[in-house]
């Protein structure tokens, strides 16, 4: 048995000896991702108190059976676990660390799981403050978009202690299919942006290659099939071809609607740039992808990120 298995067994035994019921959860941030994640927790039998600045967002969860709180603090009354799914680092900072932030008021032993995508340095800072209050903090960003959030098959990439991870795993399993323990606090965020930086590079590169072929007379489907069986094969060619009508049921065949928005890819590439600069790591390919997505997101931020192919041929959009 490895350390994680031993801790899990100890935790499960003490949970069934004392109280086999599930912990009460406070869920803050009920947007495109948070709302379906919270709904899946309700379906799995967790008792939820929820808070969001948007009333429409809280109404959806009220109808699904959650208690709607008046404030983040109110949501955390009686909660043993707090989950946040917020837009960016500044929102996470304000919910946890501001004067009326949550960390100073939570009971010792509370488990805090932040699934927002934020800079690793920000996640480590919140974790450090949490630890001084005796609170366990995990950064647990997700891979997979709104479809995966609704279907409950997100990938969670978790940074934090083995003990906190063992407590969180059954909860995360109600919202996701693959749960990874990447390492200590911040490691979840680092792994997530490494993956998304690679995805941005692959998408921009695949779009560039298909465009080169098309401009030289090739059929995009024929070229895609050739590369799919050759050494250029990659995830974008397998399941997410950026050229219209090469593949069914992908954003490129649906006007680049749905999917993973360009502005979110742009955000993640900027987080990769920030992390690389703070740690003095050279990322020339990531920097180029960030530059391309920066420009593309000015006009097409709400379109799926595969629309980057339109920088070669605007008539595609
Ligand atoms: P979103 O903008 O749809 O939702 C964020 C929610 O947080 C909103 O409902 C907003 O009202 C609420 N909020 C903001 N500040 C708040 C505060 N102080 N207190 C309470 N609520 C507050 O964002 P999203 O698409 O759900 O994404 C959430 C996070 O997940 C982001 O960090 C994003 O990068 C990441 N992510 C998104 C996707 C995706 O496909 N949408 C995929 C993977 C990861």
Closest C-alpha to ligand 1, atom 44: 142
- When pLDDT is averaged across residues 10-23 and rounded to a whole number, the result is 55
- Looking at residue 15, its pLDDT comes to 45
Best mutation site among 26, 27, 34 for ligand 1, i.e. most ligand atoms within 8 A of its Cβ? 34
Minimum-distance ligand 1 atom for the alpha carbon of 261: 40
Beta-bridged to residue 83, according to DSSP, are: 27, 113
Q: How do residues 184-243 score in pLDDT, each as one tens digit?
A: 999 999 999 999 999 999 999 999 999 999 999 999 999 999 999 999 999 999 999 999
State the distance from the centre of ligand 1 to the C-alpha of 274, rounded, in angstroms.
Answer: 20
Q: Does residue 192 carry a catalytic annotation?
A: yes
Best mutation site among 28, 29, 251 for ligand 1, i.e. most ligand atoms within 8 A of its Cβ? 29
- When pLDDT is averaged across residues 60-71 and rounded to a whole number, the result is 97
- Looking at residue 65, its pLDDT comes to 97
Q: Provide the whole-model pTM.
A: 0.92
Check if 51 has its Cβ closer than 6 Å to any atom of ligand 1: yes
Check if 146 has its Cβ closer than 6 Å to any atom of ligand 1: yes
205-213: long-range contacts, CB 8 A cutoff, minimum separation 24: 206/232, 206/234, 206/236, 206/237, 206/241, 206/242, 207/242, 207/243, 207/306, 207/308, 207/309, 207/311, 207/312, 208/312, 210/241, 210/242, 210/243, 210/309, 211/309, 211/312, 211/313
Q: How do residues 78-121 score in pLDDT, each as one tens digit?
A: 999 999 999 999 999 999 999 889 999 999 999 999 999 999 99
Q: Is the model more confident about 296 or about 258? A: 296
Distance CA 110, CA 301 (A): 37
Which tokens is 122 given? 């920000």
DSSP 274: H
Beta-bridged to residue 156, according to DSSP, are: 142, 179
Q: Which domains does the chain have, with CATH numbers?
A: 3-184 (3.40.50.720), 191-316 (1.10.1040.10)
Q: How do residues 136-193 score in pLDDT, each as one tens digit?
A: 999 999 999 899 999 999 999 999 999 999 999 999 999 999 999 999 999 999 999 9
pLDDT tier at 18, thresholds 50, 70, 90: very low
Check if 85 has its Cβ closer than 6 Å to any atom of ligand 1: yes
pLDDT of 7 strictly over 80: no
Which tokens is 235 given? 């995830």
Burial (CB count within 10 angstroms: exposed 0-12, middle 13-18, buried 19+), residue 215:
exposed
Nearest CA-CA partner of 89 in 114, 122, 121, 113: 122
Q: Quickly tell me which residue has 């020339």 as its tokens.
A: 284
Percent of the chain at pLDDT exceeding 70: 94
Which tokens is 94 given? 């304000």
Distance CA 244, CA 220 (A): 9
Closest C-alpha to ligand 1, atom 5: 31
Check if 260 has its Cβ closer than 6 Å to any atom of ligand 1: yes
One DSSP character per residue, 160-210 reads S-HHHHHHHHHHHHTTEEEEEEEESTTHHHHHHHHHHHHHHHHHHHHHHHH
Check if 54 has its Cβ closer than 6 Å to any atom of ligand 1: yes
Check if 32 has its Cβ closer than 6 Å to any atom of ligand 1: yes
Q: How do residues 261-317 score in pLDDT, each as one tens digit?
A: 999 999 999 999 999 999 999 999 999 999 999 999 999 999 999 999 999 999 999
State the distance from the centre of ligand 1 to the C-alpha of 211, rounded, in angstroms.
Answer: 34
State the distance from the centre of ligand 1 to the C-alpha of 52, rounded, in angstroms.
Answer: 10
- Looking at residue 100, its pLDDT comes to 87
Closest C-alpha to ligand 1, atom 20: 52
């Amino acid at each position: 048995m490895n350390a994680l298995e031993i801790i899990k067994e100890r935790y499960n035994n003490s949970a069934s000896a004392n109280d086999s019921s599930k912990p009460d959860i406070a869920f803050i941030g009920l947007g495109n991702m948070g709302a379906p994640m919270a709904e899946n927790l309700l379906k799995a039998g967790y008792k939820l108190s929820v808070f969001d600045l948007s009333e429409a967002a809280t109404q959806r969860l009220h109808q699904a059976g959650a208690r709607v709180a008046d404030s983040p603090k109110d949501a955390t009354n009686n909660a043993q676990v707090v989950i946040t799914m917020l837009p960016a680092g500044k929102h996470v900072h304000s919910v946890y660390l501001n004067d009326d932030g949550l960390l100073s008021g939570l009971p010792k032993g509370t488990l805090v799981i932040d699934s927002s995508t934020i800079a690793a340095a920000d996640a480590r800072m919140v974790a450090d403050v949490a630890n001084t209050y005796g609170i366990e903090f995990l950064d647990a960003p997700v891979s997979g978009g709104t479809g995966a959030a609704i279907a409950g098959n997100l990938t969670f990439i978790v940074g934090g202690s083995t003990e906190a991870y063992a407590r969180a795993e059954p909860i995360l399993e109600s919202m996701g299919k693959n749960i990874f323990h990447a390492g200590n606090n911040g490691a979840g965020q680092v792994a997530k942006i490494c993956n998304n930086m690679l995805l941005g590079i692959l998408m921009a590169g695949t779009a560039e290659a298909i465009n080169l072929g098309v401009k030289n007379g090739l059929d995009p489907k024929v070229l895609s099939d050739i590369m799919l069986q050759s050494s250029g094969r990659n995830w974008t060619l397998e399941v997410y071809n950026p050229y219209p009508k090469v593949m069914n049921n992908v954003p490129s065949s649906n006007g680049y609607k749905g999917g993973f928005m360009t502005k979110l890819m742009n955000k993640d590439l900027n987080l990769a740039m920030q992390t690389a600069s703070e740690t003095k790591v050279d990322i020339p390919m990531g920097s180029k992808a960030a530059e391309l997505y920066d420009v593309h997101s000015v006009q097409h931020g709400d379109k799926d990120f595969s629309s980057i192919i339109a920088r070669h041929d605007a008539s595609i959009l």
